[in-house]
Amino acid sequence: MDNFEPKIVAFCCNWCSYAGADLAGTSRMQYSPNIRVIRVMCSGRVNPLFVLKALSIGADGVLVLGCHPGDCHYIEGNYKTMRRIPLLKKMLKQLGVEEERVRLGWVSASEGAKFAEVTDSFTQSIKNLGPSSLGHLKQSSKEVKHG
């Protein structure tokens, strides 16, 4: 397991965390290359369904990053995320999925260094957990229909 490189999906909100990731990049900060960033308009747009979908098609971990509480561009989108992720984790645990595979974090547009740090520490924790056992699910005809 020494050379296990996890696949990590990071949902970043357009207004804070994606800009934070951008800042980390333009400042040439080093961070682990395991993450695949998906930009969403708000962390509140991240339906738990997206997280499950990512896990079911091969992600070893999912990071949801949004504006700090109080800073949401849409005023309270990130509060919705703050309420969803704990319930999602509780449900994942019941389904035999380690709750550590999903992490919620707050990264502002000026926090390039924090973005790099969160990415590194999450990657490390997923490396410690090992590969996810969910990534081999086949699609049924109905799921194909719905795309």
Partner 1 sequence: MAKLKIALYWGASCGGCEIATLAIHEKILKLAEVADIVFWPVGLDFKYADVENMADKSIDVCLFNGAIRNEENEHMAKLLRDKSKIMIAYGSCAYEGCIPGLSNFYNRQLTFDRVYIETPSTENPKKIFPQTKVKVPEGELELPEFYDTVKTLAQTVDVDYFVPGCPPEEKTTWLALEALITGKLPPKGTVISHAVKAVCDECPRKKEEKKIKKFYRPYEIIPDPEKCLLEQGLLCYGIATRGGCGALCPQANMPCTGCYGPVEGVIDQGAHFLSALSSIIDSNDPEEIQKIIDDIPDPAGTFYRYSLPDSLLRRARIK
Q: Which residues bind partner 1 (CB under 8 A)?
A: 44, 47-49, 51-53, 55-56, 69, 76, 79-80, 82-84, 86-88, 90-91, 94-97, 133-134, 137, 140-143, 145-146
Q: Which is nearer to partner 1, 47 or 128 (CB)?
A: 47
Q: Tell me the closest approach of the beta carbon of residue 92 to partner 1, in angstroms.
A: 8
Nearer CB in complex with partner 1: 84/114 = 84
CB of 140 to partner 1, least distance (A): 4
For residues 1 and 96, which CB has a smaller minimum distance to partner 1 in the complex?
96
> What are the Cα distances from residue 18, in Å, to 57, 63, 64, 135?
23, 12, 11, 26
Q: Residue 9 carries which side chain, given as an amino acid letter?
A: V
Complex with partner 1: residue 27 or 53, whichever CB lies closer: 53
Q: What's the min distance (Å) between Cβ of 128 and partner 1?
A: 17
Taking the complex as a whole, how short is the minimal distance between the CB of residue 26 and partner 1, in angstroms? 32
Instruction: Report the alpha-carbon distance of residue 30 to residue 46 in Å, rounded.
Output: 27
* Phi, psi for residue 94 in degrees, rounded to 5: -65, -30
Q: How far is the CB of 130 from partner 1 (least distance, A)?
A: 12
Structure tokens at 111: 């926090």
Dihedrals φ, ψ of 134, to 5°? -100, -10
Q: Which residue, 27 or 83, is less far from partner 1 as judged by CB?
A: 83
**Hey, what are 67's tokens?**
């504006």
What are the φ and ψ backbone dihedral angles of 39, each rounded to 5 degrees? Answer: -85, 130
* Cβ atoms of residues 12 and 65 within 8 Å: yes
